[in-house]
Structure 1
């Protein structure tokens, strides 16, 4: 067995503070998380991680850069890629519901060097996402005032640190109610968007497909390709399924439920919303996406109804979505850093594994939140410009995460088969992705990463855009080299792989990869949860409530 396959992220069954009695016991270890997230909270967390600033604000940048047709096509393509990625991730997360994100699966089935690079890259992604969301709050506030917008970032930062330092349930409950508000608002937006398009607008005229016919594509191939990175930023967060797995009750049943139902709701919300934005908002709308300002297309559509109050309401909801997205990113970054610190061998300082009596990794939380100071750079370079750069960095980092999930899934399935097991024995397996699923994710995401920076080369070279679009690749290579050629030799751990290529890239031996550790075994609490779910399914109004909630 390769050395990296021994990694164990977060609370295993032995550490799990939620006992089979179904009650929460006093934690003895200072390095354990709580399984305190319910199925309804996990479902809403998955929604909250995607329906946020990327949809409410990022679509404005996409529309201005590529036009309505480019936006609809690119978001649909990325949405399908992410859906397949989520299925592959759900398969591994159901089998091994451990904390610390999908980096645990990369460590077990790919290699410790790659896992180290991916883990730190993804932590930085989440930390920068918090800064991005705090910067977005300033952009949203500019709808009402342009003075002292930095104050909203500071207020949000204090609030987010406070919520995440209490208990995982407080995080989950906040996300749940904010997500309900966002979903309800999007439903209202869809209705209003249809009305605006057919003539219920300030000009009292039928819009139809005028903007699609007038300028479907903007900026040529470069404009089209650039939309991919903003779409990737918008869909980022779906991979949080693996991050919450270590703190999810009854993961054997709840994780597949989330995978099967949540993403389709998200995809429907995205595609319908994007279609309506393209139909109702021109790509050259004033201040849609500039160096100093970014206006939400959702606010524009509400404004087209002719009600300033409606536009202000929509902008307020967008502000709460910014808060939700920042809350999610801060939680995810904290858990990723915690996971790195408790891996075997450790890939982050041990201090980040220390938790409070409520299971909160407080030092990891402080480290993650400290990166948010980047948002205050907007005072020097403009909120719109800074948010665009941060959006590029986070979008590419999301793509690297999806590619890594495909790679880990491909090697996980190969290891499972090489060790004489059947894929049908997995707790959750989508058979129609068996042959093409992982290769499709790896190849398609690689193509996206390479082509989306076309506009930074053509018609003129933009050094800043190039750096924001490709710096994550350099960071991954650098961190891989740090672990493989500096950290690992210093720890005295020698490469044990048989083949030269495997030793160079620090690849896990698939024949001896650990397929048994960290599997969740259902206890009494899980059985009680299943019984309650079955009882609820027998009553029609409870079944309807569960589907909606």
Structure 2
């Protein structure tokens, strides 16, 4: 367990209302209570609203992770790597993501802003890298919607093969309409969809144990038999083992998006640490137990488990093993709702990333139109732009749903890994700046103390290694151009985007230097000595690493509002009352 220190809101004086204009607060800082900083300006009619509770944020993080990666991706992992490779790879990636989640939690609690880790990479590491990362992650979310719509077609093949493009279109319209509602309505829908998924996984774990001990159509004890069939437990050697990493990364992708919800989370000082500490333990519990039971109950060479035309969910296979088609149909229905929930979550996250790009200060990184919101706080232009990319899913009608989903899964998985590396880099620089500027660690609202010295480099190094080795099978023993591109296309895209933004920001600098040189040449006759003196200090720097000694650590720092303080007081009152044990159970579960 991580040790953390949380800033206590108790005893904080009530902050008076402050009027803001374009230049800043109209109320002088002297009018505020001692030690209190004015909150950043907020236009409630043209910005995101803090309408998500801790209960909803927790379930949103689960919803974005427990979806196609678990219900369908495990079938591909089992077919490509075998039961042992799948269990080991998911455990390794799970631990990496847990450390990443702690690093993100520190920054998201201190600075709960729109754009999340993209904004942190821009602020603490490099603006050009943050620009490339933000656009890459937006593309990741947009492709995830396409991936989930394609997965919906695969799930529906359990019942029918009727016009998959029509089904994708209907689901696309549904997702756009849901994301066009108020954020609290979205959060409530995701909460109950996630609750259904969590309940189903608990049922699956029970059923999986029963199937393994003999409650199956063959009435035979299975045990570890499928770990000893030809080819198992490690299918495809090292290449098969390496392949599973990208599938596992696709499956665990979404946990980092809890930081994206930070800008719309109530009382982030209290709720974000709770979300970080509890959500992932629930996820890792569900994943590892489910994956162990899948490897025990489903052989890696099960017919149509994963091929170019289709992918079969191991969850449905296990439910079929108890001899009930009704149970299998129920499981498939839950998988379908999970796929839609994951697509809904990806569309929400992508929309917020694009919104964050448009409102980045001092210089927006996307057209300002994407920063426009309705009075309900819905960034409609960003929503429409993100949802339009999901047209990719319609390509499944021509190349096969299974093959398309496999490619999209690779792209999204690698993009998730790049996001984790970026969180590590941002945290590395953030912690360095905090120490270098002499701010006491006690001022951190949340701190994973046991990861303080090794956490960021561990995430950066291990995830970078995964990105490099997981495409092994696309090169050895035979080179596959399409697979190689799906594994590594994100890397050159990131480099190109980085250079574009760096060059765009350097154009005014270059023009200024050229003007200075021209002015100097007008005043002084050119000579070798004067030319050297004039040109030497005007060299343009082609990198923009943030200086940790000067970065502003107070900008956008969260300060509890009156509503936050009231909520904390109500919580403390409940935990001291007669029903405190019931409230403790409620807060732990919710």
8 Å contact kept, 1:355–1:362: yes
Q: Is the 8 A contact 1:123 1:333 kept in 2?
A: yes
CA displacement at 1:488 relative to structure 2: 4.4
CA shift at 1:208, angstroms?
Answer: 0.2
CA apart distance, 1:152:
2.1
In structure 1, the partner of 2:205 is 190
Query: Residue 101 of structure 1 aligns with which residue?
Result: 116
* Alignment correspondent of 1:313: 330
Structure 1 residues 29 and 110, CA, compared in 2 at 3 Å: closer, same or farther? same
Among 265, 277, 290, the residue aligned to 2:294 = 277
Name the structure 1 match of 2:242.
225
Match of 2:573 in 1: 535
Question: How far is 1:129 from its partner?
Answer: 0.3
Q: Does structure 1 retain, via aligned residues, the 8 Å contact 2:108–2:116?
A: no
Shift of 1:504: 2.7
Give, in whole Å, the separation in 2 of the partners of 1:486 and 1:350.
17
Structure 1 residue corresponding to 2:485, chosen from 436, 446, 467: 467
| Structural mapping, 1:415-434, within 5 Å | 415-434=433-452
CA distance in 2, matches of 1:487, 1:227: 40
The Cα shift of 1:150 comes to 2.1
- Give the Cα–Cα distance (whole angstroms) in 2 for the partners of residues 152 and 397 of structure 1: 27
SS of structure 2 residue aligned to 1:67: helix
Deviation at 1:100, TM superposition (A): 1.4
More displaced stretch, 69-78 vs 142-151: 142-151
Shift in alpha-carbon separation, 1:14–1:456, aligned structure 2, 3 A: farther
Q: Report the alpha carbon displacement of residue 232 of structure 1 after superposing the two structures with TM.
A: 0.2
Find the counterpart in structure 2 of residue 455 from structure 1.
473
Q: Residues 212-255 of structure 1, C-alpha deviation per residue, up to 9 Å, x if partnerless?
A: 23311000100000000000000000011110000000000000
- The whole-number CA distance in structure 2 between the counterparts of 1:380 and 1:101 is 37
CA distance in 1, matches of 2:297, 2:573: 45
Q: Which residue of 1 aligns with 2:547?
A: 509
Partner of 1:393: 411
Runs of 4+, deviation exceeding 4 Å: 12-15, 27-30, 490-495, 499-502
Q: Deviations over 1:148-168 (max 9, x none)?
A: 122221111111111111111
- Judged with a 3 Å threshold, the aligned counterparts in structure 2 of structure 1 residues 66 and 239 are, in CA distance, closer, same or farther, namely same
Q: Gaps (5+ residues) in structure 2? A: 1-17, 22-41, 514-536
Structure 1 residue 200: deviation in Å? Answer: 0.2
Alignment deviations for residues 47-75 of structure 1 (CA, whole Å, 9 cap, x no partner): 11110110000000000000000000000
> Which residue is 1:479 aligned to?
497
Partner of 1:85: 100
In the alignment, what sits opposite 2:178? 163
Q: Which runs of 5+ in 1 are unaligned?
A: 1-11, 16-26
Cα shift at 1:28: 5.2
Does residue 545 (structure 1) correspond to residue 560 (structure 2)? The answer is no
* Aligned with residue 402 of structure 2, among 368, 380, 384: 384
- Aligned counterparts of 2:542 and 2:442: Cα–Cα separation in 1: 33
RMSD: 2.0
Offset at residue 528 of structure 1 (A): 1.4
User: SS of 2:65's equivalent?
Assistant: coil
Using the alignment, how far apart are the partners of 1:494 and 1:221 within structure 2? 54
**What is aligned with 1:403?**
421
Q: Give the Å deviation of 1:545.
A: 2.6
Q: Aligned pair in 2 of structure 1 residues 455, 135: CA closer, same or farther (>3 Å)?
A: same
Residues 189 and 502 of structure 1, relative CA distance in 2, 3 Å threshold: farther
Residues 13 and 520 in structure 1, CA contact (< 8 A), matched pair in contact too: no
Counterpart of 1:123 (choices 138, 142, 146) is 138
Contact between 2:45 and 2:376, CA under 8 Å: does it hold in 1?
no
- 8 Å contact 2:510–2:540 — kept in the other structure? no
CA distance in 2, matches of 1:140, 1:96: 40
Q: What is the rounded CA distance, in whole Å, between the counterparts of 1:293 and 1:94 in structure 2? A: 42
Does residue 274 of structure 2 align to residue 236 of structure 1? Answer: no
Residue 225 of structure 2 corresponds to 210
Give, in angstroms, the shift of residue 547 of structure 1: 2.2
Give the Cα–Cα distance (whole angstroms) in 2 for the partners of residues 40 and 462 of structure 1: 45
Give the counterpart of 1:518 among 552, 556, 568.
556
CA distance in 1, matches of 2:509, 2:543: 18
Cα distance in 2 for partners of 1:488, 1:369 equals 33
Task: Give the CA deviation at 1:13.
Answer: 12
Q: Is the 8 A contact 1:413 1:423 kept in 2?
A: no
Q: Deviations over 1:306-329 (max 9, x none)?
A: 000000000000000011000100
TM-score in terms of structure 1 length: 0.93
For the 8 Å contact 2:105–2:276, the answer to whether it is kept is: yes
Do 1:502 and 1:508's aligned partners in 2 also have CA atoms closer than 8 Å? no
TM-score (norm 2): 0.86
Superposition pairs for residues 136-175 of structure 1, below 5 Å? 136-175=151-190
Q: 1:494 to 1:479 in 2, by over 3 A?
A: farther
Please state how far the C-alpha of 1:527 moved relative to its aligned partner.
Answer: 1.0
Number of corresponding residues: 524
